[in-house]
Structure 1
Amino acid sequence: MSNEKIALFTIFGGTGDLAQRKLYPSLFKLYQKGYLKDHFAVIGTARRPWTDDHYHEVISDSLADLNADQETVTQFASHFYYQSHDVTDAEHYRTLKKLSEKLDAQYGLQGNRIFYLAMAPNFFGTIAQHLRSENILTDNGFNRVIIEKPFGHDYESAKELNDQLTATFNENQIYRIDHYLGKEMIQNITAIRFGNNIWESLWNNRYIDNVQITLSEKLGVEERAVYYDNSGALRDMVQNHILQILSLLTMDQPVEFTENDIDVEKVKALRSLRPLKPEEVATNFVRGQYGAGDDAKAYRDEDKISSDSNTDTFVAGKVMIDNYRWSGVPFYIRTGKRLADKFTRIDVVFKRPVVNIFNHEDVRANDDAATSLDPNILTINVEPTEGFELRMNAKAIGQGFATTPVKLNYSHDAEATAGSPEAYERLLHDALNGDATNFTHWQEVADSWKFVDVIQKYWDEHQPEFPNYRPGTMGPDAADELLRQDGHRWVYRN
């Protein structure tokens, strides 16, 4: 049975960086694997007056790093068509409709439509409105819209945007991309928890002491300066990526492994987040902004950044979850730019044994032996290494009976990882299949914004002391103090 998917992609923002860096290479990989073959076409739209031939050259250039043979690239690019398009002009949508219907007949697309809005969110509502008013949606196939973040900059703007989209599309037709949900090891969280009784039976406040989520970036704002200065780390990383990871770590087992059942449990987890009172923000969340380093400019000296900007480039926080499973367990989160290295990891720290029978003079190997056992720690390495690490206690080699921590490691094989789908490839394939399991649903977005808005509002009303950390570190000292006041410390320390 063929795995070929049939659809017309219309990419609004087809000349942009996202399309060239992520979408075209991902579609090409689907083409190489046979998921896209004869019955697909792509319309790229943007303001630039490109021709189809120039568009094909751009697509070919975007695939240069894939080392594909030119004949295959040429065949792939022949399915792409370009239309110069003003998203506010209704007449341009009529031209788009004619081209869509022509390609539908030419490639046998059965009325299947995927609209990818790779543009600024302020155009989402306008595009959706014109797709409806100009009758570009079809009756005989599926209609799906994929949108990028940011989905609003607070709850109210997100709700307004959602209302605009749902005036044209049903919720089950809207695919909100969070590329972290397409990462191999993020998807593995569900398999680890619900596929192994050893972990799920311990996955609660009786056995877990704290959980740490770190999304660390080594680079600064780079070409995203204008966007980032209007967003900051809290909105850019915590509201979406980190809270999505948190929901997967904390949700209860779904009835079945289906989109609807998983969404139900994720929403329940997000609704269990303990809301912060304004006066609690300062003791539970830390913000930072990087200064100058040996080889790095201070954030305020970056191009297109105001010299008095108070935008946060680092966030650390303590999140509590008020339900039976997680009551009393702190979830520590942190993310930032210009940190020690680029990596994403999750550290699940288990409680120490209640009694340490080895803490006795007769069984100690020497006077310097530890008086308490190290905690067991399960680490999920998301990137750049993909795999698991379990830290446990064992007897140290030699006379006596001193204990020492040892690590059990598993990393995905490099060859297997090389052939694994990249996040966008995986998510585009899901959208073609009509599977929104690894996309963000509206209620998840709404609950995340409601939690984050309290923090952002408090920060907007209080002047920070920036800059407060050097590039190449793991953020301001206050991030370490956040854990120290609870008797904890970060598992990963620079």
Structure 2
Amino acid sequence: MAAAEGGSSARDQQNTKKSSAKETGVDVWPSGEAHDHMTFCVFGASGDLAKKKIYPSLLALFYEGRLPKSFSVFGYARSKMTSEEFRERIRMSLGCRIDAKENCDEFMEEFLKRCEYVHGNYDEGADFEKLDQEMLKTEEGKKAMRVFYLSIPPSIFVPVAQMSSRYVQSKTGETRVIVEKPFGRDLESSRALTKALAAELSEKQTYRIDHYLGKELIENLTVLRFSNIMFQPLWNRNYIRNVQINFSENFGTEGRGGYFDNYGIIRDIMQNHLLQIMALFAMEEPASLDAEDIRDEKVKVIRSIRDIDIDNVVLGQYKGKTSGSNVFPAYLDDETVPKGSNCATFAAIALFIDNARWDGVPFLMKAGKALHKRGCEIRIQFRHAPGNIYADKKSKPISRGGGGTAGDSSNAQCNELVIRIQPDEAIYLKINNKVPGLGHKMDRSILDLTYKSKYSVGELPDAYERLILDVIHGDKRLFIRNDELEAAWKLFTPLLETIESENIPPELYPYGSRGPIGAHYLASRWNVRWGDTN
């Protein structure tokens, strides 16, 4: 009440700022570019990705004043409906991420007014000409940039790219196209897709999106590495014993088995998400933050990874489990999964980067469905302190009593830096520390930076918000270049061909477990213990 009497509160000021942004717009165009309007078109607008991620992200960017003053959003799909019917369909999925939710409805209504829908086929030029005419109406003769989001199955990427290029490219400004993964199934299909898209779109226009690269902790990875001098001398084989990149989901395919069985966990998660994280983690410091400088360094890392040995791979598939009255189905119980499928729902792989910085350091990747928890993290386990007197098992007990022994084997634990990407974003460092008191008992303590505790930012922006905004700005740092994609498929295609040609059966593991036992044998082969077992 005091705030109301003495002037506007912080929230009032924030709302005033938001309202001002909506009314006047903000200049979000990169310097050197002059557009008067942005037209954003979602192909596959009736699908789940559009409803759950793309449209809510656009609303959040609008609320935050990040979109141009003049913009329109088009949805395009085969489903027949009017623009009004489409607005009502997506309205229910437009939640408010932002903190000041009192005026969310106002912004939502304003956003929906800018949303249009056109139905048509994906290979009919006349339908795309109709879409172009509708776009021209909202652009009103202004110099317009058009952004196309291909939220569609890979099988129709090429015809949509062809039709868009021929009939719907901006006549007055730039055209940018966002391509959603998967980018092929192997090296050959990826090359064919890249060649077909290149015939219609330049590499400059093409944005291959991997939403994991838009997550807050991935964006912070280069900041952590290159702006903190304490980490720079440690980030190499001399101090780091192993690196673990772990991804887990606590649910199965749940009716999406038809899609998943065609790709499997290695294609779905490892070849893109986890490999991209590894490349950002291991790359050399780029010459600048320019997109091409960063992507040059990532490509070097991927090209330096040693060919994958099948003996360094463990495959798993979840089986059913009954716990009390709860029944958890096996992968093969999913009616959308082909009978008797050997598709892996879990994989663990040991990778090695053959360069001067990382020679001999095992990078262990692990990804799986129907595991004991949901999460994604990077774990960096450092080497033991050389000549560590506290790890001397022959030391005698401390005479002052009550403090344990200096030679307790638990004291020999190495330091570990953990970057938790999801959920509950955090960075924390495990160190050995003396327990306060007269004794010499040691403990493993955690220096913890949990984002929710440190920063009063409410809910963090969704990865799609960051990436869509980067497309608008023309910033390609977090998007995958064609030679980067080529290098990734060159690495994984021989492994995938071996698995499929030999029909290697996966090891079964119970739904809700930590995965197959073979993953622990793989880690122990390289003197590593998985750090995410808690």
Which of the five TM-score ranges fits, normalised by the shorter chain?
over 0.9
CA contact (8 A) 1:233 1:315 kept: yes
Matched, 1:449 2:460: no
SS in 1 for 2:221: helix
CA contact (8 A) 1:363 1:402 kept: no
Q: Output aligned runs, 1:340-489, within 5 Å.
A: 340-358=372-390, 359=392, 360-362=394-396, 364=398, 365-366=403-404, 369-370=408-409, 373-413=412-452, 416-466=456-506, 468-489=508-529
CA contact (8 A) 2:351 2:364 kept: yes
> 2-side partners of 1:210 and 1:59: how far apart?
45
State the shift of 1:395 in Å: 1.8
Deviations 1:123-157 (Å, cap 9, x if unpaired)? 111111122333x2234311100011101000111
Deviations 1:360-379 (Å, cap 9, x if unpaired)? 52465546722762100000
CA contact (8 A) 1:87 1:123 kept: yes
> 1-side partners of 2:82 and 2:186: how far apart?
39
Deviations 1:203-243 (Å, cap 9, x if unpaired)? 00000000001011001112422110101100000010000
Equivalent of 2:66 in 15, 25, 35: 35
Change (3 A) 1:37 1:419: farther
Deviations 1:63-105 (Å, cap 9, x if unpaired)? 1465664332222111111111101111111112211222211
CA contact (8 A) 1:46 1:84 kept: yes
* Residue 205 (structure 1) aligns with: 237
SS in 1 for 2:470: helix
SS in 1 for 2:177: strand
CA contact (8 A) 1:112 1:138 kept: yes
Matched, 1:324 2:356: yes
> 1-side partners of 2:459 and 2:369: how far apart?
29
* Residue 163 (structure 2) aligns with: 130
SS in 2 for 1:103: helix
> 1-side partners of 2:496 and 2:90: how far apart?
40
> 2-side partners of 1:25 and 1:338: how far apart?
27
CA contact (8 A) 2:60 2:96 kept: no
* Residue 56 (structure 2) aligns with: 25
Gaps of 5+ in 2: 1-24, 30-36
State the shift of 1:396 in Å: 3.1
Moved more, 371-380 or 210-219: 371-380
Matched, 1:310 2:350: no
Matched, 1:85 2:120: yes
* Residue 94 (structure 1) aligns with: 129
AA matched with 1:204: N
Moved more, 116-125 or 36-45: 36-45
AA matched with 1:112: M
> 1-side partners of 2:410 and 2:529: how far apart?
18
Matched, 1:183 2:215: yes
CA contact (8 A) 2:312 2:522 kept: yes
Equivalent of 1:257 in 289, 309, 332: 289
SS in 2 for 1:413: helix
Question: RMSD over aligned Cα, in angstroms?
Answer: 1.8
Size of the aligned set, in residue pairs, is 487
State the shift of 1:400 in Å: 4.1
Matched, 1:55 2:94: no
> 1-side partners of 2:330 and 2:507: how far apart?
8
AA matched with 1:8: T
Moved more, 413-422 or 28-37: 413-422
* Residue 273 (structure 2) aligns with: 241
CA contact (8 A) 2:245 2:365 kept: yes
Moved more, 36-45 or 154-163: 36-45
> 2-side partners of 1:453 and 1:141: how far apart?
39
Equivalent of 2:147 in 114, 127, 151: 114
AA matched with 2:427: F
CA contact (8 A) 1:363 1:401 kept: no
SS in 1 for 2:314: strand
AA matched with 1:289: Q
* Residue 34 (structure 2) aligns with: none
State the shift of 1:389 in Å: 1.0
AA matched with 2:184: G
AA matched with 2:46: T
CA contact (8 A) 2:507 2:516 kept: no
> 1-side partners of 2:146 and 2:277: how far apart?
30
Q: Give the structure-2-normalised TM-score.
A: 0.88
CA contact (8 A) 2:121 2:127 kept: yes
> 2-side partners of 1:187 and 1:160: how far apart?
31
Change (3 A) 1:179 1:130: same
State the shift of 1:15 in Å: 0.9
CA contact (8 A) 2:362 2:526 kept: no
* Residue 226 (structure 1) aligns with: 258
SS in 1 for 2:72: strand
Gaps of 5+ in 1: none
AA matched with 2:132: K
Change (3 A) 1:223 1:258: farther
Moved more, 90-99 or 17-26: 90-99
CA contact (8 A) 1:363 1:400 kept: no
CA contact (8 A) 1:385 1:411 kept: yes
Matched, 1:273 2:305: yes
Moved more, 359-368 or 204-213: 359-368
CA contact (8 A) 2:184 2:193 kept: yes
Change (3 A) 1:393 1:69: closer
